[in-house]
Each structure stands twice: as C-alpha cells, then as structure tokens.
Amino acid sequence: MSPDRQTGSPDETLSGGHTVEFPGGYTRSTGPVIGRFLTELRDGRIVGVRARSGRVLVPPTEYDPHDGSPVTGEFVEVGPAGTVTTWTWVAQPRPAHPFTRPFAWALILLDGADTPLVHALDLGPDSGPAPPRRLRTGLRVRPRLRDERVGDITDIACFRPEVDRITAPTRLDYTIRAGPALTRYLDAQLEGRILGMRSRHGTVYVPLRDVDPTDGSPGTEEVELPDTGVLTMFSVNHVPDPRAPEVPFVTGYVRLDGADVDLLALIGRVEPSRVRTGMRVRAEWLPPEERSRTRPSIRWFVPAEKGEDDR
C-alpha cells in the first residue's frame, strides 16, 4: 500500500501505529564488574568498587568516570542505608515508572560510597500529589529488596525512609464517675443554668464545687449565675487544635457577673483582632439536642449584644 493522496492537509494524510520492540528484549552481557554487582545484589548485598583514586564507585563500573582509568579489583560492601542528595516527586507516574501511585526519584549516597546512585523512593501508600513533608535532601533511606531476585538493578524494588519514628496506638478503658457537685453543675447546664458555690468567706466559685480551695472548708450555698460576664484575659491561638475552631481562635478567661473566679472558655463569633480585655461576653449555648450530661453545654462565649456591655 502507498499513500497516494498528496493533499498535504494534515487531517487527510494517512497515519498508523508503529511499535519498536525487539522480541524477547535485548540481551546485554554485563562484563565482570557490573556482573559482580548484580550477582551480589541477587544475594541481597550492595557492593561498590574502589577506583585507583581510592573512591568507592556505586554502582560500580569498570572505569572511573572521572578519567576513564581502570578500577582496582577491590569490591566493597556499602549501605544498605544511605542519604538522599537530591529528589523529585512524581505525582502522576509514567507507564515505565516502577509505581502507579505518587513516588520520588532520588540520588542516594549509600553509606561507604563516594558516588550516589539513582533509584526510586517510596514514601508509602498514602502519598498524594504534593511531596510529603519528610521528603527532603538529607533524608536517610534503605533499600527494599525484592523477594524473588534475578540479578537486575530492579532487584532493589525501591528505597524507603529509615525508621526514625513509630506510631504507638494505645487505648485504656475507664469508667469515671463525677462527684456530686460536678454532676449537679453539668445537669444544670443541660437546662441552660450555671451553678456556682458561695464559700464561707463569701467568695463565689464557678463551677459548682464542694470545698473552698483556699482552706478546704465546705461551701455554704449553691448560687445560680447569669451567662454573661467580662473577658478578663485572652490569647489568640495560631496552633491548630482538633477541639478548636479554625485558627486563629481566641481562648480567654470569663468572669461571670457575680462570680469571683474566671471560667476558661473559647471566645467565638468575633474577629480576633477586635477582642479586647474587659469586653462584655455571654455564653452561646449548644442547641438542646446537642447537649450531653458528660460535657459542658456552653459552646463558647461571644461578644454580648449592643448595650449589654453598658453595665
């Protein structure tokens, strides 16, 4: 067949697939030095060769790349651990790449070697499109060897970071019983009430407690406090916390009207830059269906409505 239409227009010329593949693959004899490296690798060892200059070349070649001089016959076991000297993160691997999920290529200087080798670096199955934070020059890595080795550079499946941390999931189960005062305080919160205690010195503590912390004397009476007060101290937090709203968020101490001690509370619904010491705040209660006997029912304190801080 021959293309006989000479229109020159790209959408009218013929096209067809063309594959170049030598059946069975090229057969490459290795020679003594590469062969020694691959044989040792099949046995699970990584070796370099000493050049005349004294440098250990990894992977080993029959010559020093620096000047072409023949290497000595001395093979040196290196690694298996090494250090990343440069890296790239491949978010979308190509078909020829060793992974189908994101991974790194790296130059890795194995311990005892003077030249780094190129290989793939696996940072785990959770790797995403962005380079993992721990992937950096200087990272310590070790090879993962394949179980079935044949004597090929890919007998090293990849390298992985050295272990420098462990995660230790721990769990202990307890049953906690609140004392009578805390039980009454939380139950009252379910109804939207805040209970405190008046001590024999006349000071009002909140939350409700059994004894005066200054001398251990029992309280004299329960006191119901309003859900409004004054912010006495506060801080703007920029460190994320799973229990807190998005950073930055404000935590502060609230002196409820009529109380003599502060409640530690989150401050919400206000730009952190507008929070002031002395500002009037009031509790924002969780809706009744979200309240629970085992948790405070106040979500956070919020700036009091206009006029409420005129007191």
Partner 1 sequence: MSGRPVAVIGVGQTRYRTRRDDVSIAGLVREAALRALEDAGLDFADIDAVVLGKAPDLFEGVVMPDLYLADALGARGKPLLRVHTAGSVGGSTGIVGASHIASGAFERVLVVAWEKQSESNATWALTLAHPMSTSLVVGAGGYFAPFIRAYIERSGAPGRIGPMVAAKDRRNALRNPYAHLRIPDITPEMVEATPMLWEPIRYLEACPSSDGACAVVLGGRTAARAAPGAPAWVLGTAMRSEPIAFAGRDAVDPRAGRDCAADVYAQAGIADPRRDIDVAEVYVPFSWYEPMWLENLGFASPGEGWRLTESGATAIDGDTPWNPSGGVLSANPIGASGLIRFAEAAQQVRGAAGDHQIDGARTALGHAYGAGSQFFAMWIVGSECP
Partner 2 sequence: MSTPGTPPPTAVPPFPRDRREGDVAVVAFSQTRHMAADSGAPEARLVHTVVSDVLQRAGIDRGDIGFTVSGSLDYLAGTPFTFVGALDAVGAWPPISESHVEMDAAWALYEAWLRLRHGDIDTALVYGFGKATQGDLPDILTLQLDPYYLAPLGIDDISLAALQARALLDAERVTEADLAAVVDRSYAAARANPYSAQAGFTPDTLLTSEYVAHPLRPGDIARPCDGAAAVLLATGDTARRIAEAQGTRPAWIRGLEQRVDAHGPGARDLTRCDAAERAAVAAGVGAAPVQVAEVHARYSHQEPLLRGALGLDDGVEVNPSGGPLGADPVMATGLVRVGEVARRIAAGAAERGVAHAAQGPCLQHNLVTVLEG
Residue closer to partner 1 by CB (options 13, 220) is 13
72 binds, options partner 1, partner 2, none, Cβ within 5 to 8 A by partner type: none
Smaller CB separation from partner 2, 72 or 137? 137
Q: Which does 152 bind (CB under 5 to 8 A by kind): partner 1, partner 2, none?
A: partner 2
Q: Which is nearer to partner 2, 138 or 307 (CB)?
A: 138
Contact between 202 and partner 2 (CB under 8 A)? no
Q: Is 107 in the site for partner 2 (CB under 8 A)?
A: yes
Closest CA to 49 of 40, 39, 62: 62
Question: How many other C-beta atoms lie within 10 A of the C-beta of residue 100?
Answer: 9
Q: In one letter, which amino acid is 163? A: V
Can you tell me the distance from the alpha carbon of 261 to that of 209, in angstroms, rounded to the nearest whole number?
12
By a kind-dependent CB cut-off of 5 to 8 A, residue 27 interacts, out of partner 2, partner 1, none, with partner 1
Three-class HEC string of 79-135: CCCEEEEEEEEECCCCCCCCCCCCEEEEEEEECCCCCCEEEEECCCCCCCCCCCCCC
Strands (E), 178-227: 194-198, 204-205, 221-225
Residue list 27-66, contact with partner 1 (CB under 8 A): 27-34, 61-66
Nearer to partner 1, 65 or 213 (CB): 65
117-121/82-90 β-pairing: unpaired
Contact between 46 and 110 (Cβ < 8 Å): yes
Nearer to partner 1, 70 or 288 (CB): 70
Chain residues binding partner 1 by CB under 8 A are 1-3, 14, 16-18, 20, 22-23, 26-34, 61-70
Chain residues binding partner 2 by CB under 8 A are 8-10, 12-13, 15, 18-20, 26, 28, 30, 34, 38, 53, 55, 58-59, 65-66, 85-92, 94-98, 105-107, 109, 113-120, 129-131, 137, 152-154
